[in-house]
């Protein structure tokens, strides 16, 4: 997997980044290999790559290979922790509701 960052913030994660180069004849951006790339495309937007010629008015995006299994594991753990927090909140709201009913009844 690859992590794409813009301004030091995670912008996108992909199994295969869309490396592109500008076709001289038409000016169109076409998909290419990492070695031949001038830029990267994310959601149809073109981003400059570090250590390549800067592209006018295009933000630089950094591409870094990451361990996808680790990312999935970390997200799974965070999801479990957040799910437990939701259950705790729901239980607290039920307790509060019971206390309010008891106060109303006198």
Q: Please state, in angstroms and rounded to a whole number, the distance separating the CA atoms of residues 101 and 106.
A: 9
Q: What is the pLDDT of residues 4-63, one digit of tens each?
A: 999 989 889 888 999 999 998 999 999 999 999 999 999 999 999 998 988 999 999 999
Residue 74 backbone dihedrals phi, psi, to 5 degrees = -65, -40
The residues facing 30 across adjacent strands are 21
The domain of 40 spans 2-65
Residue 56 sits in the same domain as residue 97: no
Residue 56 sits in the same domain as residue 101: no
Strands 45-48 and 61-65: unpaired
Residue 77 sits in the same domain as residue 99: yes
Q: Which whole-number Å values give the CA distances from 76 to 1, 19, 80, 90, in the listed order?
A: 17, 29, 6, 21
pTM beyond 0.85: no
Residue 52 sits in the same domain as residue 77: no
Residue 30 backbone dihedrals phi, psi, to 5 degrees = -125, 150
Last residue of a domain, one of 50, 65, 80: 65
Residue 11 sits in the same domain as residue 54: yes
């Amino acid at each position: 997997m690859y992590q794409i960052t813009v301004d030091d913030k995670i912008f996108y994660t992909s199994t295969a980044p869309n490396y592109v180069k500008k076709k001289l004849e038409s000016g169109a951006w076409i998909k290419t290999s990492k070695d031949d790339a001038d830029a990267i495309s994310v959601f149809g937007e073109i981003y400059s790559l570090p250590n390549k010629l800067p592209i006018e008015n295009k933000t630089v995006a950094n591409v870094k290979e990451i361990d996808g299994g680790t990312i999935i594991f970390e997200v799974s753990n965070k999801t479990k922790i957040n799910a437990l927090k939701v259950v705790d909140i729901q239980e607290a709201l039920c307790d509060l509701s019971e206390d309010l009913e008891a106060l109303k009844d006198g």
